[in-house]
């Protein structure tokens, strides 16, 4: 039966020493249990997979162990065994996400006064406690303030800011931190050895990087890799499994942006996307890559864990961008992270980040890797370049009618979608009308109007209209918001 459990369940800590990290919590609770003075209510707050529920169970085991030593559970007595096997009647775990109502809490309160069945304490573990309704919280408050001597409440949450201050004030509050890369890596090596799993150092590092400080996430990725592999886990398996983009592609994308080559950067993003890579994953990898370039600019090379060849390329790229421009690029990329699922164009968010970076600042000259204070002092203020005005003289003037508009629009969307996916995406959110032989393009925001009105986009529209069989027709962009178009693009265009 045990072998069929998920990896993270098999490796759930059974004694305090097994819990990875959170030493500040472990020591405090151990001291309280050793002194025979555990708190009547604890609040464990922190990210998922950092040990909140495991710590709650260890506390329950420690206070009810029949043969504890210095506050540490023996792990062998009847009570310890019953808790591990889920048979301990005096430890009640409640998922607040599915028991949110006041009736659920009242039912709990009615039973809390009954004495423990076999242990010294009845321990109530309420997971995701922030999901309780306001009335449920109010019903719980009095019991939290004056519980029976035999009752201990452990409230666990990932969103402590949603709890009422009166609830927090009645508990002994502990913050659970993200685990360090070293802590996760050390535990994974231990598990791999015990489970007889052959895994390369590069693959291990990929798991650590993608776990984002969560031990449970790290074990879930490891278990997927075990199922995906033939007994040996290497970096290629992890990259295929997680859809991780090769660092060479990220280097090329960064270089294209530094060279102000928006077309090359957008083309590369689309190539990556249409090869089946996760755009969200690409965004994360690129964000980390640019962050490490920033670390190099600030002189913190030790924080960049890359090969010598990769670091050399990053150092060269760092010399080609100012700190201000790099910070702006990072801020745009961070702002785009929640925009990948907008409409049906996941790549649009990254395309807009590229467009903003390439067109909002004049190409920077080579910047020597100098101290931050000097560089910020010497950096000129960011200026928006004024593209040259190009006059297009049409050979003839086409009469554009309402009847012909549908055909023209179809051809226009096809040609402009190839020439500039970003402009094509903007046009998808617009409506077109014919008015006094003008092609009127209605967009839902002033930003989109200004985007289409830029000289290079005006030229592009004129060229694509010629391809659609229309010459000499004036294009007029106006702002006319509609609920559908606003909802479709709001998440993307707010970042610009």
Q: Note whether 336 and 467 are same-domain residues.
A: no
> Which of 209, 242, 275 corresponds to the end of one domain?
242
Q: Note whether 283 and 410 are same-domain residues.
A: no
Residue 7 lies in a domain: yes
Backbone dihedral angles phi then psi of residue 141, each to the nearest 5 degrees: -55, -50
Assign 481 a pLDDT band (cuts: 50, 70, 90): low
Residue 394 lies in a domain: no
Q: Note whether 233 and 328 are same-domain residues.
A: no
Which residues are CB-neighbours of 170 under 8 A, at least 6 positions away? 41, 141, 144, 145
- Which pair of structure tokens corresponds to residue 455? 């000289």
Residue 389 lies in a domain: no
Instruction: Please count the structural domains in the chain.
Output: 4
Domain holding 232: CATH number?
Answer: 1.10.8.60
Which residue did the predictor score with more confidence, 466 or 342? Answer: 466
Q: Note whether 164 and 28 are same-domain residues.
A: yes
Q: Note whether 63 and 35 are same-domain residues.
A: yes
Residue 68 lies in a domain: yes
Which residues are CB-neighbours of 309 under 8 A, at least 6 positions away? none
Which residue did the predictor score with more confidence, 7 or 175? Answer: 175
pLDDT in tens, 58-97: 999 999 988 888 888 888 888 888 888 888 888 888 887 7
Place of tokens 């201050």: 165
Domain holding 372: CATH number?
Answer: 1.20.272.10
State pTM to two decimals: 0.61
Q: Note whether 263 and 134 are same-domain residues.
A: no
pLDDT in tens, 373-391: 444 444 444 444 444 443 3
Q: What is the pLDDT of residue 43?
A: 92
Is the Cα torsion angle 179, 185, 186, 191 positive or negative in sign?
positive
pLDDT in tens, 194-222: 888 888 888 888 888 888 888 888 888 88
* Dihedral over alpha carbons 99, 102, 108, 111 (to 10 degrees): -150
Q: Note whether 157 and 187 are same-domain residues.
A: no
Cβ-contact 238, 203 below 8 angstroms: yes
Q: Note whether 237 and 266 are same-domain residues.
A: no
Q: Note whether 280 and 341 are same-domain residues.
A: yes
> Which of 311, 346, 378 corresponds to the end of one domain?
378
Q: Can you tell me the distance from the alpha carbon of 162 to that of 99, in angstroms, rounded to the nearest whole number?
A: 17
Residue 476 lies in a domain: yes
Which residues are CB-neighbours of 449 under 8 A, at least 6 positions away? 443, 477, 478, 479
Backbone dihedral angles phi then psi of residue 152, each to the nearest 5 degrees: -130, 130
Backbone dihedral angles phi then psi of residue 41, each to the nearest 5 degrees: -150, 130
- Which pair of structure tokens corresponds to residue 466? 């010629």
pLDDT in tens, 324-336: 889 889 888 888 7
**Domain ranges, residue 434:** 402-493
Q: What is the pLDDT of residue 255?
A: 93
Q: Note whether 170 and 28 are same-domain residues.
A: yes
pLDDT in tens, 16-46: 888 888 889 889 999 999 888 899 889 999 8
The total of other beta-carbon atoms located within 10 Å of residue 448's CB is: 22
Residue 249 lies in a domain: no
| Residue 174, strand partner residues | 44
Beginning with the edge strand found earlier in the chain, give each strand of the sheet holding 438-443 in spatial order: 431-435, 438-443, 475-479
Question: What would the 3-class secondary structure string for 432-469 be?
Answer: EEEECCEEEEEECCHHHHHHHHCHHHHHHHHHHHHHCC
Q: Can you tell me the distance from the alpha carbon of 51 to that of 45, in angstroms, rounded to the nearest whole number?
A: 10
Q: Can you tell me the distance from the alpha carbon of 387 to that of 359, in angstroms, rounded to the nearest whole number?
A: 9
Residue 47 lies in a domain: yes
Q: Note whether 165 and 267 are same-domain residues.
A: no
Residue of 1, 19, 134, 121 whose CA lies nearest to 61: 121
Which residue did the predictor score with more confidence, 155 or 411? Answer: 155
Percentage with pLDDT > 90 across the chain: 8
Residue 360 lies in a domain: yes
Q: Can you tell me the distance from the alpha carbon of 396 to that of 417, in angstroms, rounded to the nearest whole number?
A: 25
Q: Note whether 364 and 263 are same-domain residues.
A: yes
């Amino acid at each position: 039966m045990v072998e069929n459990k998920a990896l993270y369940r098999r490796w759930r800590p059974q004694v305090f020493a097994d819990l990875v990290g959170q030493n500040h919590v472990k020591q405090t609770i151990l001291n309280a249990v050793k002194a025979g003075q555990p708190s009547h209510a604890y609040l464990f707050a922190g990210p998922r997979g950092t040990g909140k529920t495991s710590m709650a169970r260890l506390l329950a085991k420690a206070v009810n162990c029949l043969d504890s030593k210095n506050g540490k559970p023996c792990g062998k007595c009847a009570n310890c065994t019953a808790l591990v096997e889920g048979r301990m009647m005096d430890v009640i775990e409640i998922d607040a996400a599915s028991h949110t109502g006041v009736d659920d809490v009242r039912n709990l309160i009615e039973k809390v006064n009954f004495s423990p069945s076999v242990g010294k304490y009845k321990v109530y573990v309420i997971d995701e406690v922030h999901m309780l309704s306001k009335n449920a919280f109010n019903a719980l408050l009095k019991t939290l303030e004056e519980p029976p001597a035999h009752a201990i409440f452990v409230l666990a949450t990932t969103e402590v800011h949603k709890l009422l201050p009166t609830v927090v004030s009645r508990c002994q509050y502990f913050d659970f931190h993200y685990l360090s890369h070293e802590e996760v890596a050390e535990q994974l090596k231990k598990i791999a050895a015990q489970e007889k799993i052959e895994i390369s150092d590069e693959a291990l590092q990929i798991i650590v990087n993608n776990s984002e400080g969560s031990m449970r996430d790290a074990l879930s990725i490891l278990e997927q890799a075990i199922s995906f592999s033939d007994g040996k886990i290497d970096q290629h398996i992890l990259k295929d499994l997680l859809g991780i983009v090769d660092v060479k592609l990220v280097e090329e994308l960064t270089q294209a942006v530094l060279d102000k080559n928006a077309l090359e950067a957008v083309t590369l993003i689309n190539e990556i996307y249409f090869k089946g890579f996760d755009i969200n994953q690409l965004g994360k990898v690129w964000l980390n890559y640019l962050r490490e370039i920033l670390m190099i600019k600030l002189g913190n090379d030790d924080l960049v864990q890359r090969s010598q060849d990769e670091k050399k390329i990053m150092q060269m790229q760092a010399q080609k961008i100012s700190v201000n421009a790099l910070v702006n690029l990072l801020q745009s990329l961070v702002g785009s992270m929640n925009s990948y699922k907008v409409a049906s164009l996941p790549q649009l968010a990254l395309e807009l980040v590229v467009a903003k970076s390439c067109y909002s600042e004049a190409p920077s000259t080579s910047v020597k890797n100098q101290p931050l204070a000097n560089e910020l002092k010497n950096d000129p203020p960011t200026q928006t370049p004024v593209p040259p005005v190009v006059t297009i003289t049409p050979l003839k003037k086409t009469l554009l009618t309402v009847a012909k508009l549908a055909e023209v629009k179809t051809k226009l969307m096809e040609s402009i979608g190839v020439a500039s996916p970003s402009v094509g995406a903007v046009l998808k959110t617009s409506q077109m009308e014919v008015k006094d032989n003008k092609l009127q393009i209605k967009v839902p925001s002033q930003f989109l109007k200004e985007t289409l009105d830029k000289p290079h986009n005006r030229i592009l529209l004129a060229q694509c209209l010629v391809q659609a069989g229309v010459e000499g027709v004036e294009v007029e962009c106006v702002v006319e918001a509609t609920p559908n178009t606003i909802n479709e693009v709001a998440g993307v265009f707010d970042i610009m």
